[in-house]
Structure formats: structure tokens, C-alpha cells
Amino acid sequence: MVEPLVIVGAGGFGRETADVVEAINAIAPTWELLGFVDDAPSDVNLERLAARGYDLLGGTDHLVSLDNCAHYVIGVGCPRARRAVADRLRCGRHVPATLVHPAATIGSAVSIGEGTVICAGARLTTNIAVGRHVHVNPSATVGHDTTLGDFVSLNPASSISGDCVIGAGSLVGVGAVVLNQLRVGEDATVGASACVVRDVLDGATVKGVPAR
């Protein structure tokens, strides 16, 4: 059965999420994408949305007021902002959708939490736990026995080695590497192209090679 779906956030990742939905539907009709909601869409994002042929339905309150039991997915790239939206929507009747692009590679014993989006070219190997509302961007890789906490963002082409823990709310920048058996704390930021060689404290920002 095809289920109604709303994307929260009309920005870049929100529209990339629409690509994931379209790719899933091209294999088997699964989602009826009703449109987007966004509390403060920029003019340029409104233009880009219109160019894609999608409607801005209104703010997040519109989702709350929808009579049908639409699923939703939060396409907001910033982990902190995404968590705030999820907290707001949590008490409603709507259910987070979990979206995995057909061109992502998901190995054995991988669990994926609700609201998570996994993009094309992402590769997750074996025995991996992915939390709720996680974003795994294009071509990010996640090695064996790793845990990604809720609201983690792995930006494009980032590489998480085996046996790592990426704490809830953390962002790993584009092209960054986390070496094996390391812990990135909660709400931490790993800069673009960094190489993490030791544990990262909760809330810390590290950058460079080696990352400090």
C-alpha cells in the first residue's frame, strides 16, 4: 500500500530526501510524497522546490493538523535543529518514515531506527546499529560493529571505521575519517576532511589531520 509522506525542511537535504523517495518509488510505489513543510523557507529554497514540482504545504503546524496519518521524515541537516523538530512532532499522531536509497549497500545485522535517511552510495557493512533520525549522506561508509546514535549526521564521503561509537547528535563533516575503535562524543562536530585518531569529547569540535 502506498503511504502518504511529508518531508520536513525544504533545504538541501530535504530535497535530497525527495530523491531518495523517488528512487524507492521507481522500484516499487511506496510513498505518496504530499510535499514539504518548513517554518522559515528561504526564497531560494522555495524556488528550488517549485522547480522540482513540489509544494510547500505550510509550516510544521500544517503537518500536525493533517487529518490523514501521513508519515514524515525530517530533512534538516543540522543535528540539533533536527532533534528540536523531532521533539515537537513526537507527541503527534504521525509516524517517522525510514528511507533507504536502493543504491545504498546495507550489510548483515544492520538495524536502522525510525526517521533515518540513508542516501545513494552509502555503505554500511555488518553488525551496525543506526539510531533514530540519522542522516547518512551519499557515499558515507560505516564499518563493522559500529553504533550511530540518534540524530547523527554523516556528511558525504565520511568514513567511520569498525567498532566506533558516534554519539547522539554528532556531525561528521564531509570527507572526514574516524579510525577504528574510537568514540565520538554526543553533540560533537568533526570538521570536513579531519582524521580522528583519538576519542572526541562530548560537545567538542575537532578538525585537521590528526584532528584536534
Ligand X SMILES: CC(C)(COP(=O)(O)OP(=O)(O)OC[C@H]1O[C@@H](n2cnc3c(N)ncnc32)[C@H](O)[C@@H]1OP(=O)(O)O)[C@@H](O)C(=O)NCCC(=O)NCCS
Q: How far is the CB of 191 from ligand X (least distance, A)?
A: 3
Q: In what order do the strands lie in the sheet with 110-112?
A: 110-112, 128-130, 147-148, 165-166, 183-184
Q: Is the peptide bond before 210 cis (omega within 30 degrees of 0)?
A: yes
Q: How far is the CB of 158 from ligand X (least distance, A)?
A: 8
Any catalytic annotation for residue 62?
Answer: no
Q: Which CB sits closer to ligand X, 70 or 211? A: 211
Q: How far is the CB of 174 from ligand X (least distance, A)?
A: 4
Q: Which residues contact 131 (CB under 8 A, 6 or more apart)?
A: 113, 116, 147, 148, 149, 150, 151, 152, 168
Measured N-to-C along each axis, helices 43-52 and 12-27 cross at an angle, to the nearest 10 degrees, of 10
8 touches 73 (CB < 8 A): yes
Q: How far is the CB of 172 from ligand X (least distance, A)?
A: 8
Q: Which CB sits closer to ligand X, 203 or 208? A: 208
Residue type, 180: N
Give the nearest residue (CB) to ligand X. 191
Dihedral class, residue 25 (left if φ above 0, else alpha if ψ from -120 to 50, else beta): alpha
Q: Which CB sits closer to ligand X, 146 or 153? A: 153
Task: State the residues that interact with ligand X by CB under 6 A.
Answer: 155-156, 173-174, 189, 191-193, 205, 207-208
Q: Which CB sits closer to ligand X, 125 or 155? A: 155
Q: Is 77 annotated among the ligand-binding residues?
A: yes
3-state secondary structure of 125: coil
Q: In what order do the strands lie in the sheet with 159-160?
A: 105-106, 123-124, 141-142, 159-160, 177-178, 195-196
Annotated binding site for substrate: 77
Active site (catalytic) residues: 144
